Structure 1
């Protein structure tokens, strides 16, 4: 960048910033940031312009650009906020520089355009790349978090675990269910695993096939799989499509499935006898009877 123009920009940064703030405020409704509060918008704009001027002074701007891009993503603001802001800054800076010269010839005009472009173009590329990279990283983390929540295996009692399934089951999720089921069964030393499909809206041929595969895999490692949460409409669908679920126990509710799991593991639910000094005895003693 031209040294004299650079010095002129730095010395008149306040004027350029004021002009930019005025102009960028006019496009607030055009880049999907109209719903943002004025205070947050102004504060973020000031941070944005500080990042821009940091870059011209070569003060480790890469870190500032990365942090600012992450902030914009966390705020949920669109990429157009960055690109529009930089384009407006380019225009405002060029207009300011041209006004500083009484007579503008072709060479000076070209020098101003080239100098500003050499400053702003790398900023646009770097900010867009940082924004895209941060966005992809956040999406990747969210995808991992969703996968961890999509097929949890919960130990509820020694030898008994439950896998509650909610939502649609596709091929990728079915693979994750299989992996978590086998790893969790071994990890928790489970004798019985209950797969609860109460929250699965549709059980078609593919879903039923994946469930049968999972149950068969559990059986092969020496455990029993019980399918619970079979609603009447799902039972009818399974019958209509000819799926054979006779190889492992099924129950309509998790409660009934858990009772079956207790039976398989040699336990049972027993009602405890009422204590001799029940509520009736206490009430009689209070009345002096």
Structure 2
């Protein structure tokens, strides 16, 4: 930006900021920021315009731009908030500089526009690049976190583990299920693994194929896989598709599957009558520990 125009903008920053704030506030109710509180909107706008002036004074301050972009992402605001704000700032600055001069000819107007563009465009590129980089980083972290939660293997009792599955199973997730399943069976020394598909909305040929592969892999390392959570509609779908699940036990609920797992591991659930004598014995045994 021409040094003369730059100096004029900095010296009159209060007036430019006021004009910018008024125009930004006038479009608030008609766009994505309508649901944002007035206090948060105003404070963020002031921080935004401060970032712009900091950038021009220091010829581009990477740290403040990076921090502001990350803040916008954390607030859940779209990239268009940044681009719209900078376009408004560009227009307001040009109007203000032109309004302060008596020399209004095409050459002067062209110089002002070129100078302001040379100032604003690098800030747009920097903010957009920082926003995109921060967004990709956050998405990458979220993806890793979701992968860790998408196929958990939970040891519920000695030699018995449960893998609850929720949501759609695609090829990538099926691979993760297989890896976690095999690693977990060995790590927990599991004899029985219960795969609970209660939270899987659709079981088609591909999903069934992945489950059968996982169960077969578990069998090859010496453990038994029980498929639980088969709802009536899923049972009907499996039958209609001609999918063979006869190679490993299936149960309609986790409770029934757990009972079967106890049976496989040589244990069973025994109902114990809660009498006063039994309670006293239990209390005495706990005191002894």
Cα distance in 1 between the residues matched to 2:186 and 2:133: 38
Shifted more, 99-108 versus 203-212: the winner is 99-108
- For residues 219-256 of structure 1, the C-alpha deviation after alignment (integer angstroms, 9 at most, x for no partner) is 11111111111223322322232222222112221111
What TM-score, normalized to structure 2?
Answer: 0.90
Structure 2 partner of 1:152 = 152
**1:140 deviation in Å?**
2.1
Task: Say whether the 8 Å CA contact 1:31–1:84 is kept in structure 2.
Answer: no
Cα distance in 2 between the residues matched to 1:94 and 1:252: 70
**1:99 deviation in Å?**
2.0
Cα pair distance change 1:199/1:131, threshold 3 Å: same
Cα distance in 1 between the residues matched to 2:175 and 2:196: 17
Task: Say whether the 8 Å CA contact 1:165–1:196 is kept in structure 2.
Answer: yes
Structure 1 partner of 2:91 = 91
Task: Say whether the 8 Å CA contact 2:20–2:88 is kept in structure 1.
Answer: yes
Cα distance in 2 between the residues matched to 1:102 and 1:210: 76
Structure 2 partner of 1:196 = 196
Shifted more, 56-65 versus 125-134: the winner is 56-65
Give the secondary structure class of the aligned counterpart of 2:164: strand
Superposed, 1:113-128 pairs within 5 Å as 113-128=113-128
Q: How many residue pairs are counted as aligned between the two chains? A: 279
Matched, 1:129 2:109: no
Task: Say whether the 8 Å CA contact 1:31–1:78 is kept in structure 2.
Answer: no
Cα distance in 2 between the residues matched to 1:89 and 1:276: 80
Cα distance in 2 between the residues matched to 1:155 and 1:231: 24
What TM-score, normalized to structure 1?
Answer: 0.90
Shifted more, 137-146 versus 176-185: the winner is 137-146
Cα distance in 2 between the residues matched to 1:63 and 1:231: 54
Superposed, 1:50-129 pairs within 5 Å as 50-58=50-58, 61-129=61-129
Shifted more, 77-86 versus 47-56: the winner is 77-86
**1:214 deviation in Å?**
0.4
Cα pair distance change 1:42/1:69, threshold 3 Å: same
Give the secondary structure class of the aligned counterpart of 1:277: helix
Cα distance in 1 between the residues matched to 2:206 and 2:278: 55
Structure 2 partner of 1:175 = 175
Please, what is the CA RMSD of the aligned residues? 1.8
Structure 1 partner of 2:42 = 42
Structure 2 partner of 1:259 = 259
Cα distance in 1 between the residues matched to 2:278 and 2:267: 28
**1:278 deviation in Å?**
7.0
**1:124 deviation in Å?**
0.9
Task: Say whether the 8 Å CA contact 2:60–2:123 is kept in structure 1.
Answer: no
Cα distance in 2 between the residues matched to 1:220 and 1:63: 54
**1:161 deviation in Å?**
0.4
Cα distance in 1 between the residues matched to 2:278 and 2:222: 45
Structure 2 partner of 1:285 = none
Cα distance in 2 between the residues matched to 1:123 and 1:203: 50
Query: Which structure 2 segments of 5+ residues have no match?
Result: 280-289
- For residues 149-199 of structure 1, the C-alpha deviation after alignment (integer angstroms, 9 at most, x for no partner) is 221111101111000112222222211211111111112121110001122
Structure 2 partner of 1:140 = 140
- For residues 37-90 of structure 1, the C-alpha deviation after alignment (integer angstroms, 9 at most, x for no partner) is 111111111000000000011176111111111111211212221111111111
Structure 1 partner of 2:249 = 249
Task: Say whether the 8 Å CA contact 1:31–1:81 is kept in structure 2.
Answer: no
Query: Which structure 1 segments of 5+ residues have no match?
Result: 280-289
Cα pair distance change 1:60/1:186, threshold 3 Å: farther
**1:274 deviation in Å?**
4.1
